[in-house]
Structure 1
């Protein structure tokens, strides 16, 4: 897709250019700024607060990174702003604040986390925030329902489906039925989502559906690239890497 050449022009830093040893933590303002300043694209994750605000955070639960416990979705934005990241003292930022920080300097990739309850407030808030902005920004999700809603609410914002092998034995996907995993890995949602690009697991790039989408002109970014072997796989089957743990040239 020629209109998305900017998305694949430079490597994309997974959750920002983070380095825990240097106290730069994933999805924080410092990690996002470090990536943008280095000229990399920035991939972030967003989750919903109790009132439906979009905050930059990966996990459903606070515990791994924040000095607090429980679901992000049970806290208001006011509450979340009082909770520091454990290893750096920074606070969560909103999607709006992230867009301000990046300022259009580099591509921003916003991964929208899905809700097990089917709550659409996060996708609607992302469509509202991103749809009202300019600059190089795309929205992606594992959840076809999110993409279908983005297609409806913000059709001018490029959208991508995040994909994987969704292996039957992978505990990460145990909440999905075998039928849903088959549906997702083979892009059988295509008519409803009409993705402009794919973001696919680097270890599953040789899937026929991915090769066909790329041949049809959909760019493919690939995650999460950490090793020389991953770089080689990406070079053979994708248009750009989503990386962490090193600095690509």
Structure 2
């Protein structure tokens, strides 16, 4: 990796990254909400957040495929229009679901944004395209990442100037068993790197060290880790990575 590329991603390693914002459910500050992002901005933390695609093709800030865990609504995000999603009040808070447009207007470049594109592993590129469209002209530090190499390959093709990353683990969990075997093997061997060309990797800290990640880091690629939930885990993670994505404590 060239020196220019390393400089381009310095914002990823400069400060700990608040996982879904600096949330605290007990204080009514819920993940991926305006309040959680405001708390992260106040502390100067970079913000990690998630995007899902609505029925009418808008990008909303929401982690789960289903809306039940965090709202009184029912069903899949992809089966709701953006107007329907924005009507949902987040449990234990007064916040409502945000769009990516609203998130960008809130953050205004005050801290970096580490944006994960959620995927249904079906080759649908609409979320990647919508995110890229929304980020045009956004001056603040930001990047796009996904577990799905197809999503990041799409970002590379559509907007090669945007810093992009792969979120990953060793992909041996039963969750991955529903994917076609070639896709499973691509994830387990990191062979997708030839087509995704990530600028960084966000990796599950409990599965480090791992040879493919060690090799990428030795070549100069920044490695961030998820999700760190206490100082002891942070110490362990920083032995094998360059920055942490954290929640539940003051990093």
TM-score interval for Structure 1 and Structure 2 normalised by the shorter chain: over 0.9
What TM-score, normalized to structure 1?
0.95
1:75 & 1:111 partners in 2: Cα distance? 20
1:135 CA displacement: 1.3
Query: Do residues 66 (structure 1) and 66 (structure 2) align?
Result: no
What is the aligned residue count?
Answer: 246
Equivalence for 2:3: none
Q: Partner of 1:15 in structure 2?
A: 20
Q: Summarize the alignment of residues 23-42 of structure 1 with structure 2, pairs less than 5 Å apart.
A: 23-42=28-47
Q: Secondary structure of 1:64's match?
A: coil
| Partner Cα distance (1:159, 1:49) in 2 | 22
- Structure 2 distance, partners of 1:67, 1:56, is 17
Please give the TM-score of this superposition, normalised by the length of structure 2.
Answer: 0.94
In the alignment, which of 113, 122, 128 is matched to residue 123 of structure 1? Answer: 128
Query: Would the aligned equivalents of 2:58 and 2:99 in 1 still touch at CA under 8 Å?
Result: yes
Q: How does 1:202-213 map to 2 (within 5 A)?
A: 202-213=205-216
CA contact (8 A) 1:130 1:157 kept: no
SS in 1 for 2:239: helix
- The 1-side partners of 2:19 and 2:71 are apart by 19
Structure 1 Cα separation of the partners of residues 59 and 121 of structure 2: 16
Report the CA distance between 1:120 and its aligned residue: 1.5
2:78 partner SS = helix
Of the three residues 142, 146, 158, the one matched with 2:147 is 142
CA shift digits 1:1-43 (9 cap, x unpaired): 1221121100000000001000100000100111011100000
Q: Please give the secondary structure, in 1, of the residue aligned with 2:32.
A: coil
1:178 Cα deviation from its structure 2 partner: 4.6
Partner residue of 2:169? 164
Residue in 2 aligned with 1:181? 184
2:100 maps to which of 95, 99, 102 = 95
Q: Over aligned residue pairs, what C-alpha RMSD do you find? A: 1.3
1:154 to 2:159 alignment: yes
C-alpha distance in 2, partners of 1:153/1:99?
20
Query: Which one of 45, 48, 51 corresponds to residue 46 of structure 1?
Result: 51
Structure 2 gap segments, 5+ residues each: 1-5
Deviation of 1:129 after TM superposition, in Å, equals 1.1
* Residue equivalent to 2:7: 2
1:236 pairs with 2:224? no
